[in-house]
């Protein structure tokens, strides 16, 4: 095997490599599709996390409202007998 054969093989390899990585190659298509899928998956996960956070906030707000309503009722019940005594 002479030098000419080695140079020929190397140039063939480089030509095929250049064609396989060109803008219209399958590898570029696959890389683009993979990136689009990753972006879409991240977007779906982000929307799901935001929905879970919103549900958690709503539940926490309901708990606070129930607790504060109970406290207000106790305060108003405690204030009623005091108001009733001065009327006697």
- Sketch the domain layout of the chain as residue ranges: 3-87
At 48, list the tokens.
């799901």
At 12, list the tokens.
């063939």
87: pLDDT strictly greater than 60: no
Query: Per residue in 21-40, pLDDT tens?
Result: 777 888 888 889 999 998 88
pTM over 0.95: no
For residues 27 and 47, give the distance between their C-alpha atoms in angstroms, rounded to a whole number.
30
Is residue 25 within 8 A of residue 19, CB to CB? The reply is yes
Query: Per residue in 41-71, pLDDT tens?
Result: 887 778 888 888 899 999 999 998 998 888 8
| Region label for 25, one of left (φ > 0), alpha (ψ between -120 and 50) or beta (otherwise) | beta
**21 DSSP assignment:** T
């Amino acid at each position: 095997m002479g030098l000419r054969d080695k140079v020929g093989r190397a140039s063939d390899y480089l030509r095929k490599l250049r064609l396989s990585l060109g803008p219209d190659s399958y590898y570029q298509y696959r890389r683009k599709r993979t990136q689009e899928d990753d972006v879409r998956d991240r977007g779906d996960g982000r929307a799901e996390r935001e929905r879970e956070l919103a549900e958690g906030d709503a539940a926490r707000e309901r708990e606070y409202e129930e607790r504060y309503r109970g406290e207000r009722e106790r305060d108003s019940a405690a204030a009623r007998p005091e108001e009733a005594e001065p009327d006697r």
